[in-house]
Structure formats: C-alpha cells, structure tokens
Structure 1
Amino acid sequence: MGLSTFVSDAWSWLNYKPMMAATSDGRPHRGLAPQATWLPKDAVRRLAAYKVLAAYDANQAGELAALTGNDSGAERREFGDAAAFVDTTLAHLLGKSQQIVVAGAEHAGDENASPETLAASDVQQRLRSWAEAELFPLRMQAAERKAVLLGDAVYLLAWDPQKGRVRLRTYDPGFYFPVLEEDADPGDYPQRVHLAWEIPEDPQQGTKARVRRITYELGPIVAAGPHALEDGSAGRGLVTDGTGGRPLEAGDVSRADNGAIERRYPWAPDRPTGITCYLTDAEWSLDDLRHGQSLDDLSMERARFRTRSDGEVLHRLDLRIDFLPLVHISNTVADGEHFGQSTLATVMQVLDELAETDTDSARASATTGAPIIGLAGARAEVDRVTGRPRPLAVSPGTIFQLADGGRMDVLDTSGQLAELRSRVEEIRDRAAVNARLPAVSLGTVDPSDVPSGYALQLSLGPLDSLVDAMRLARAHKYALLFKLVQRIHQAGQAEGWATGPTPPVRLAFGPHTPTDRSAVLDEVVRGVGACVLSLETGVGMLQDAGYPIEDAREEVERITARRPAASPAEDARSSQPGRDEEVSPPERA
C-alpha cells in the first residue's frame, strides 16, 4: 500500500526530516549516511544523526539540506543559535571549576588521622597532579562538548612507559562501536569494543583505501607470543616452553585442576582471576572486504597488524588489566539505550523554524533597505546601441523628471519586517523554554529587569534540573575513569602508587549559577563567629561560592595559625555557644 515504516529508536526525533528515511529500507539519504559496507547496520542511523547535529553546530544545515535534494537549502540563514545552546549548556554543566575529591582526604590534617585517611590524601594529590600534567580540564571540555552536542563522548586511557604515567585521549563517538549483548543491561560495561574508521586512499603515497580497527576485549589469560603468520607478516599466537607446557608471565599461576592461568592484580592481591584485556590494532584493505562483512567479524587472515614503538606486535596483546580502558560518556541517563541524547534533540524543529524565519526576515530587510519604486510620468533614458530604455537606478541624489500628473510609489515592507523580528524573538523564547535554558542563562535579559534575587532563582529552576540530570548521568562515569587511572598506574608499577584497593574518587563540579558571594561571606562570618558553624564548614561554603580556595584543609590551617591567641575570658565564652553577652538594656537595644 506504500505505507512508510514507523521507526522508534534513540534518534526518532530526526524522523521528521526526509533525509533520515530517504530509501525504501529506512536507511538515511546516501549523501548523509556512510556508504561503507563494513559498518554495523544498527550504527548507520546513529552516524547520520551525528552528521546532522554537526551540521547544525557549524551553520551548515542548509548546505546539508541542499546536498540531500532541497534546492532552497542554499538560501537558508543560520546565525549560530544551535552552537549558542550547546556552549551555554556546556558552561553550566562544567560550572566554574572542577575538583578531584577522594573520600576521606579532607581529614588528613587531623591529629589522629588514620593510615587510610593519609593514603586517600596521597591518592588525591597524585590524581590532581596527573590531571594537571595530562591537561584534563581541556580534554574534558572537548569531550563534554561532543557529549552535549552529539549525545556521546569517549575517553581512552593508555600506559606510557616513557612518561611514566597514564595518557588520556578523547575520541569522536562516531568511531565508537561497542559490541552489546542482546539481553544485556544498557548500563553494563561491554566485553568487547571497537574504535574504527576508514582511511582514504593516497595516490601520492601509493596506498589504497583501508579500514583501521582498534579492538579491546576481555578474555581468559593464555600464553601467547609473537610469531610469523602464513603470509609472512608479524602476529601473535599460542606458545609452549618446548616440553608441552605453557610459559607463564611473572605473577601468573596455572591451576592444577583445569590448567587455566590465573593472575593477581595489584588492586586485588587477595583475589586471583583468569580474565585479562587484549588489544588488537590492525588494518584491512577495502578490496579485501567481502560485501556484507560486518566490523565485528573481519577476517584476521587478511589483517595487517600494527606494531608499537618498542616493536611489540599489536595482535591480542595482553595489557595485564582486567577491564577495558575506555569510558563512554552519555549526555543523558540511560533508559533502555546505551547511547545518550543530544541537548538539541528536543528543539531541532524549533531551530528549523527559527532559521526559516531568519531567512524570511533577511529577504524582507532587502526590500525595506532597497524598496521597490514605481514611477509614472517619467521618461527613461534610451540606450543608443540597442534602442531600448535603460533600467532606472535609485541612489542618493537621484532626480527624476516627471510629467504632469506623474507620481512615485514606494513599496513599504517595514511592517512585515517588524512582525518577522517579533516572530524571531517568540521562537527563540520557545526554544529556550523547551531546552530548559532560561533567557537569563542565555544572556538575553537585562539584569535591571529582574525584580529580585528570589525571582531570578525561580527562573533558573528548569536550568537547575537540567544540570542535575546531566551531572547525575556522568557521576559514576568519572568515578570509573579515575578508578581506571589508579589501576593502570598500579599495573605499570608507577613510583608511589601502592598496591591495594583503589579508594573511591568523584569529580566535584563548581556552581553553575551566579552566587552572591558577599552574602555567603557574611553568612559564614556570622555562623562561625556565633559557633553554629565550624570553620571547616564555613571554608567549604566559601569554596562552593567561588572563592579561590584550592584546598579547604590548608586554608583552615592558615586561618588557625594566623588567628590571635584568645584570652581566658574569651575561651570561657566560646565554650558556651548560644549564650548572650552580658550587656545593659540600652546597649542591647
């Protein structure tokens, strides 16, 4: 009957665009969807959605529409509204600052601090030093912008023996292809992940188009070593010690009952495990790929394995860790989907309406600035060559001689232009409401128009809920990231990283809304002075308000050291909190 298929998935908010379902099988337009045959079918719509979102962010939505068959797309006016929404959301998500906090480290300055507390303080200082060396704030901002715009971001951790620390890299989510089990929970950690992309051919270098795939997968520990493959290239396979047994790495043991190899990792020395993570980095020529062959089942016989800088072949290389060193960041809380949703998902149609209104406004402003003029009774100059009247041109100082009864009529479109401008503001406000970005957060409200601070706080309510939800979706992911950083340092036997369980770590984001710092300071002074707030709590409040306090414990120590010695009478008074001073009635009044 010619009925179209109703598709409901994580990217259904783009179904209104004909380019997202331009073929009979429901695939996006060929100018939008990748045409590579090795791509998994369930990744095609996701990559197409990434391309659409990137086009909106770069003011290329009109160009993309023209590419997919919309001839009027080239005239589309785009003024950066999508990028403004993304940047504003990102700024409020990250807050003024980000701080790595280890549980228990704040009590390291106490007189009777436990060894666990001192160890937590040491780990906190080491993680902060690592973050500074790896430019973590910059990398996090780059990754989080992708997460806000596209819905997903990917961190990759790797041990660098030359630098003696863990290196951090960010990947575009379009290169991320997890192998998800059909009945697995969306929040579960996958057992196998691919990072893959296509490398175009280079005629100058004489190289053909090829696919590069980096695979991390968990599997049982086996004894393997480098050996030559059938085609003569380097690879890795099972090895023996010459007597039929398997050579073991340092620290590995073979069970007597089934011969399985087990290992004790530094973060769990009392719990042996037979699982490790393998790394494979290989390339395939596009000519060697069969039609319909998916990314996860590429033939290893035709693979060309890459080698590390030290000559190690990256074919099922044992990384000596029992986890995948990748962390996937989703912009929204997982609800039946592994991937997140873009911040622009709910306002895509509003952005289209805003762009169309801006386009109409630009056209109306052209007729307003250079109006259409009708002349009656004017004699046009004749071209001597063609004998035809020359078109009249209007410029400042132009004089037209009109005959008796002649007149000049001007088409006034300023009224329509004013209506279009009003329409633009209406649509922009609608987009801000749907995106939960109040006008005050976008900077489009005059501060003098806000009646009170309480009214401002109420207007920021939707933004508060948005930021809380986004930070909730990331809380356990960053806790996992810093746990992996600690464990890779332990696996690399980095100096100073002790063997044992890794303490829990969280990433504390700063305030995302303006704070009345003077009011907070006055509150802290009153509370600490009246002994209803401890000095540690007051310093923490000042730190949350945006005061430049790097370490609360050190700040408390500096304040205590500089405080003048109290007299015995003051000590007696401070030991009785809540007791009023003895003053006369006039002084009390």
Structure 2
Amino acid sequence: MCLASDGCAGHFPLDRYPEAWRGAELPGVVVGLRQFVIDAWSWLNYKPVMADAGRPSSQAFPELAASWLPAHELRRLAAYKVLASYDNNQAGQLAAAAGDEAALERRELGDAANLVDTALGYLLGSDQQIAVAGAEHADEGSPEPGATEAAAVQERLRKWAEKELLSLRIQQAERTAALLGDGVYVLAWNPEKQRPTLQVEDPGFFFPQWDDSQDEDFPSRVHLAWELPEDEEAGVKARVRRVTYELGPISEDATMVRHYPWEPGRASNVTCYLTDAEWLLEDLKRGQTLDRLPMDKAVFRVRPDGTELNRLDLVIDFVPVIHLTNTIPDAGEHWGRSVLARVLQGLDELAATDSDSSAASATTGTPIIGLAGARLPVDRSGRPEKLKVEAGAVWQLGDSGRMDALDTSPQLAELRARVEHLLDRIAANSRITAAGLGTLDAADVPSGYAFKLALAPLDALVGMMRLAREHKYRLLLKFVQRLYQAGRAEGWAAGESFSARLAWAPHTPTDRAAVLDEVVTAFGAGVFSLDTAVQMLLDAGYPIDDASQEVARIRARAEEDAAARVAEAAAARDGRRSPDQDDLASAAV
C-alpha cells in the first residue's frame, strides 16, 4: 500500500519505510489519507463495490470473508471477480449486490468480452509452434555441433505438446490472463503416462509467498488453495484445500546433496516438496491464515499408490508452477494488468448510453401522445379508459380536437452517435484500435500504408504482451525437459536443457505476394540465406510445417536438378538423347 497527494511526483510505499515516520509530516504527503491506494488494482478504486471487499456483511464478495484468506490478497481477488462480472455481462448484478439497485437496469451487450477475445486472437495469432535453437541446421550437409540433438528434442517436445493438448491449454490460460491480468500453469510428472502433464489453474487459487530475501521473480513457496463447499447429503463439512510446493534442503542438516541430470557435475542440497491437505473450516481460528494453517488439524491426501502427500520429495530443484502476466509488471509488482483495466470506465459509460438508448427507442417506437378534445371511452364506473397506441386504433376528436406526438428520435440519434464515439475512444485507449476491432470504415483508409499506420498501436500492444510471456514459456518448456529427465524417460539423457521457445504466428494479415516477391529477389541476389528465406515465408503464413525440413527438401530438389542437368549435358556431348528426352519423344508419338 502507498500514499500520495496531488503534489506528489511519485508514490510512497508504506511497507518500505519504518513505522517511526508514518505519522510524521512529510512534504507532498497528506498524512492519514489511507484510502488513496495506488497499487496494481488502483484503476478499480472508482467503483464503490471495491470498498466491500473483505467486509463480513458484504453481499458482493461473501467468499472474501473467509478467515483463512490473507488480508493483502483481498483486493486482488475482488478485482478478479469484478473483471469476471464484466466478461459475463453481470457487472450490473454485482453493483446491485453492493447496494446500487438502479444497476439492475444496466444494459450490457458483450462489449467487454468482445474486447478480451479480440486481444486474445491477436496475441495468439493463427498458430503457435515450439522451436528449439539450432534445430533448423540439423538437415544441412555439415550440421553445426548439437543441431541433430536439438532437432530431436524439438520433435519430442512437439509430440508432448500434441499429447497434452498444449494449444487448448494455451487458449485457456491466455484468455484468463487477458481478462484478469494473470494466468497459472502447473506441471507434474505422471508415471503412468510417462510424460509431464500440464494443467491450467484459476489465478484466484494462486498464492505465492514472496520473500524479500529470495528471488522476487521465483518464490520458494507457492500455495494453490480453495474452499470445498459443504455437502449435507454426503455428510461432508465445508473445508479448505491447500496444495503447497516448497523448496527446501534435502536433509534436515542440509548436508545431503543430489546430482540432478540437467546440471551434471554440480551438487545441490535443494529439492521441492509437495504437500496436499485439507482443513475443516470450523477448526480454523482467527489469525490462522493460509500460511499459518494448523498442521495438527490437517488431513493429508493420498496418491493412488498409497503415498501420503505430506512433504513428498519430488526430486526436482524447482517449483513446477508458472505464473503468466498479461503485461510487464511495474517495478516492485508481481501481477499483470487486464486488457479491460484502462477502459473499464469507458465500458461503464457505454453500458449507461446503451441503457438510455433502449429507453429512448421505446418512446420512439411507441411515442407518447397527447390528445385534446377527444371523446374517450368510459368503463362501467364512468371513468375514461386508458388509451393504447397500437395498430388500427381509432380515436374520435372534436372540432377543436388535436393530437400531439412526442418525437424522441433526435435524442435517439444523439445517443447512437455517442455510442460510436465511445467505441472509438475505447478502441484507441485499449490500443486495439478501430482497425483491429473491425469498426474502421474502409473509405477512411486511402492506402495499405495508412492501414498499417492505423494498426501501429495494436502492433505495439501485441509486442508488449508477447514479450511479457516470452520468458515464461521458455521456462515452461525447460521444466518439461527436466521432468522428463527426472522421470528417467526413454531417450532423455542427462545434460543441460535445450533453449526452447514458443513461436507465434503473425497477428495481422500479411501481403503474401509481396513477401514472396521480396524473398525471391533477395535470395536470388544472395542477400538472404535459404534458411532466412524459408523462415520469412513461414512467418508470412505459407503452409510450411517445419522450416528445417522444408530447407532440406529444397536442397534435395536442387541437387537432383543439378544432377539431371549434368546428365543432359553429357548426353548432348555424346550426340545422343538423354533418358528424359527419350521419354518425351515416346510420349509425343
């Protein structure tokens, strides 16, 4: 938490300064202003519903009143729920639960979900491929050292990705990351399948334990925790389940060492322990939060082979949990920012305008009519009946009678224009752009270069999102290799892990004809190598499954053509036809 005032150039994190000066008068700081919070979720401070997070009587966030939840995690979990409500067109219902009854009339037409899905589509592109450094040179006549092994690892990783449905898992994790700002992968070795398994977890279940003395990017302890509801029919009480991955010494005295296959020649005294346990909610007392749950009350889970999951040694020296962030976190922060973060108020304005448009369209389609001098029908009591505007209705007017209709169509037109304005503003501020959302009028784009300029903010957005993920996917593929080695899978020898990455397809359409012409010209002039030329075609969207194999096929065909030309030249010198010429002559006859 930090405090700031209007005259403050930055912000002052309270947890980095001693208690002695917190109440002192500091230049630029409004002392005692503890509600002005600047953190990774301060863009949600404008919503009154955020003030309900953690209150025992909260109707909007009843689950956050759980005694085991750490207080510093409540804002993050509340932010996740608010963002999920926008994604499911339930933001009005959430606001109504916090006391805003008028929010039930809110019109939500899927703009938030469309924004998330559009950003996700551009991030992922049309395809993702696993690429291992050096594998592209394996099919050369004299491959570089290690190229053959790199190609073999690349093929094994791709087969693993196919078996583990990696493309589907990426879709699941990345949509969560785009919507909430964070995503979580968990890897585990499966002895039955003889391969690592990949699972996507809800970031609301993810509780890393940051320690200032440790590496801030890789916590040494990670909890995955959630509540299990009560089942009266089965006689099961409400519980909390916690799965913990923790790095620690192999032995109590830290003297025992182990040689891991991915670091040959280096002894390590660290291993990763897995604990999977449950606690009854009724057994937890005040102050027994997630990291202080009483171990004497724990009921440990048991594997199918009968092994109790209480500090089970996984025989690895890393935590097999990968945390994705949608954006590059600010210095000192660990969490990402949602695609919706900076345009959330714009979405609120859009929903309010849609609600007003709906009300205005009702009076435009069925206008309010004022009658003067009309003979109104009466009921049995002699009171005039209410008239309805409907097709075929006939009203009798006197000689001085008059009918006036309230025309609200100009207001409706203004509201529709405001909707277009808000959509353009949201597209610009989210950096997805009107061109990216598909709302840009083609008449407004005079040339392809102008269209490329219109997409420049989207290019920068996708570049930043992919950069935030680059290292995490390299880490995931490194962990997959190490789990194969730890499981002593066939074909995975000891040695350092190969550098593998996730290659993304282009996020916008490319002029394939222009790229082909450029490649042919540059390669013919000797400016590009064959490997670079094929990679450019692959990036442009040509149907090339593997760049190295395509290069090998091109070279093989070139050698065959060269041999055929040599044979034809030799035949011409001997004054006789080549075999190909004989075949052509026979075909002509």
TM-score over 0.5 for the pair: yes
Query: Deviation per CA, 1:145-181, whole angstroms, max 9, x where unpaired?
Result: 1101101000000011111111000001000001111
Deviation of 1:534 after TM superposition, in Å, equals 2.6
- 1:546 corresponds to 2:546: no
Give the AA of the match of 2:197. Answer: R
**Hey, what does 2:339 align to over in structure 1?**
343
Is contact 2:52–2:61 with CA below 8 Å preserved after alignment?
no
Report the counterpart of residue 312 of structure 1 in structure 2: 307
In structure 1, the residue matched to 2:265 is 270
Q: Deviations over 1:179-216 (max 9, x none)?
A: 11146564x20000000000110001100000000000
2:225 alignment partner, one of 177, 186, 196: 196
5 Å-filtered alignment, 1:175-190, equals 175-182=205-212, 186=216, 188-190=217-219
Partner residue in 1 for 2:87: 57
- Matched position secondary structure for 1:309: coil
Distance 1:27 1:517 in 2: 59
- Pairing partner for 1:104 from 104, 109, 134: 134
Deviation of 1:30 after TM superposition, in Å, equals 4.9
- How far did 1:54 drift? 0.2
CA displacement at 1:22 relative to structure 2: 4.3
In the other structure, the counterpart of 2:394 is 399
Deviation at 1:19, TM superposition (A): 1.4
Selected match of 1:379 from 375, 382, 388: 375
Q: Kindly tell me: are residues 30 and 337 of structure 1, through their superposed partners in 2, closer, same or farther at Cα, counting changes over 3 Å? A: farther
Contact kept? 1:99, 1:508, Cα under 8 Å: yes
Distance 1:298 1:400 in 2: 77
Report which stretch shifted further, 470-479 or 26-35.
26-35
Q: Distance in 1 between matches of 2:57 and 2:269?
A: 44
Residue of structure 2 equivalent to 1:521: 516
Shift of 1:398: 1.4
2:502 to 495, 503, 507: 507
Asked whether the equivalents of residues 20 and 27 of structure 1 are also in contact (C-alpha less than 8 Å), the reply is: no
Q: CA deviation at 1:492?
A: 0.5
Question: Following superposition of structure 1 onto structure 2, how do residues 441-452 of structure 1 map, counting pairs within 5 Å?
Answer: 441-452=436-447
Using the alignment, how far apart are the partners of 1:522 and 1:540 within structure 2? Answer: 14
Of the candidates 154, 159, 164, which is equivalent to residue 129 of structure 1?
159
Q: CA deviation at 1:29?
A: 4.7
TM-score, reference length from structure 2: 0.87
Structure having the higher helix fraction is: 2
1:540-582 alpha-carbon deviations (Å, 9 max, x no partner): 11100011101112112222333432857x99xxxxxxxxxxx
Deviation, 1:528, is 2.5
Deviation of 1:352 after TM superposition, in Å, equals 0.6
Distance in 1, matches of 2:190 and 2:212, equals: 35
Alpha-carbon distance in structure 2 between the residues aligned to 1:63 and 1:521: 53
Matches within 5 A, 1:165-244: 165-182=195-212, 186=216, 188-222=217-251
Give the structure 1 partner of residue 179 of structure 2.
149
Q: Shift of the alpha carbon at 1:282? A: 0.3
Partner of 1:242: none
8 Å contact kept, 2:52–2:60: no
Give, in angstroms, the shift of residue 533 of structure 1.
Answer: 2.5
- The answer on 1:355 being equivalent to 2:367 is no
Cα pair 1:191 1:217 within 8 Å, conserved: yes
* Match status 1:21 vs 2:51: yes
Identity of aligned residues (%): 61
Secondary structure of residue in 1 paired with 2:267? coil
CA contact (8 A) 2:378 2:385 kept: yes
Distance 2:447 2:303 in 1: 62
Query: Which residue of structure 1 lines up, in the alignment, with residue 578 of structure 2?
Result: none
Structure 1 stretch displaced more, 399-408 or 534-543: 534-543
Distance 2:81 2:58 in 1: 12
CA distance in 1, matches of 2:33, 2:540: 58
SS at match of 1:261: coil
- Residue aligned with 1:42, SS: helix
TM-score normalised according to structure 1 size:
0.87
Residues in 1 aligned to 2:184 and 2:33: alpha-carbon distance in whole angstroms: 38
Query: Structure 1: how far apart are the matches of 2:314 and 2:530?
Result: 47
Equivalent-residue separation in structure 2 for 1:150 and 1:264 (angstroms): 39
Task: Tell me the alpha carbon deviations over residues 432-462 of structure 1, each in whole angstroms, 9 at most, x when there is no partner.
Answer: 1110011111011244542111101111111
* 1:112 to partner: Cα distance: 2.1
2:288 maps to what in 1?
293
Distance 1:185 1:20 in 2: 31
Gap runs ≥5 in structure 1 = 224-257, 572-589
Map of 1:69 onto structure 2:
99
CA displacement, residues 367-420 of structure 1 (integer Å, 9 cap, x when unaligned): 001100111111111112x33221111211211111111011000000000000
Match for residue 37 of structure 2?
7
Identify the residue that residue 249 of structure 1 maps to in structure 2.
none
* Cα-to-partner distance string for 1:226-266 (whole Å, 9 max, x where unaligned): xxxxxxxxxxxxxxxxxxxxxxxxxxxxxxxx771111111
1:390 and 2:389 equivalent? no
User: What's the RMSD between the two structures over aligned residues?
Assistant: 2.1
1:31 maps to 2:31: no
Q: 1:472 to 1:59 in 2, by over 3 A?
A: same
Residues 1:86 and 2:121 are matched in the alignment: no
Does the CA contact (< 8 Å) of 1:528 and 1:538 recur in 2?
Answer: yes
- Distance in 1, matches of 2:251 and 2:527, equals 62
What's the counterpart of residue 437 of structure 1?
432
Moved more, 488-497 or 214-223: 214-223
What secondary structure does 1:157 align onto?
strand
| 2:242–2:276 Cα contact (<8 Å) kept | yes
Helix, strand or coil at the partner of 1:177: strand
* Separation in structure 2 between the aligned mates of residue 449 and residue 535 of structure 1, nearest angstrom: 39
User: Structure 1: how far apart are the matches of 2:345 and 2:208?
Assistant: 30
On the 8 A contact 1:66/1:72 being kept in 2, the answer is yes
Tell me, what secondary structure is at the counterpart of 2:146?
A: helix
Q: Quote the offset at 1:28 in angstroms.
A: 10
Secondary structure of the 1:508 match is strand
What is the aligned partner in structure 2 of residue 261 from structure 1? 256
* Amino acid across the alignment from 2:350: L
The answer as to whether partners of 1:5 and 1:26 remain within 8 angstroms in 2 is: no
Evaluate the alpha carbon distance shift between residue 185 and residue 37 of structure 1 in structure 2; reply closer, same or farther with a 3 A threshold.
same
How far does residue 334 in structure 1 lie from its aligned partner after superposition?
2.3
Match of 1:284 in 2: 279
Q: CA deviation at 1:38?
A: 0.3
CA offsets, 1:268-311, max 9 Å, x none?
A: 12111110000000000001001121100111100000001111
The answer (yes or no) to whether the contact 2:140–2:552 under 8 Å persists in 1 is no
Query: In the alignment, which residue of structure 1 is the partner of 2:581?
Result: none
State whether residues 197 and 213 of structure 1, in contact with CA within 8 Å, keep that contact through their aligned partners in structure 2. Answer: yes
Which stretch of the first structure deviates more once superposed, 328-337 or 474-483? 328-337
Give, in angstroms, the shift of residue 536 of structure 1.
2.0
Contact 1:20–1:29, Cα closer than 8 Å, also in 2: no
2:420 to 421, 425, 428: 425
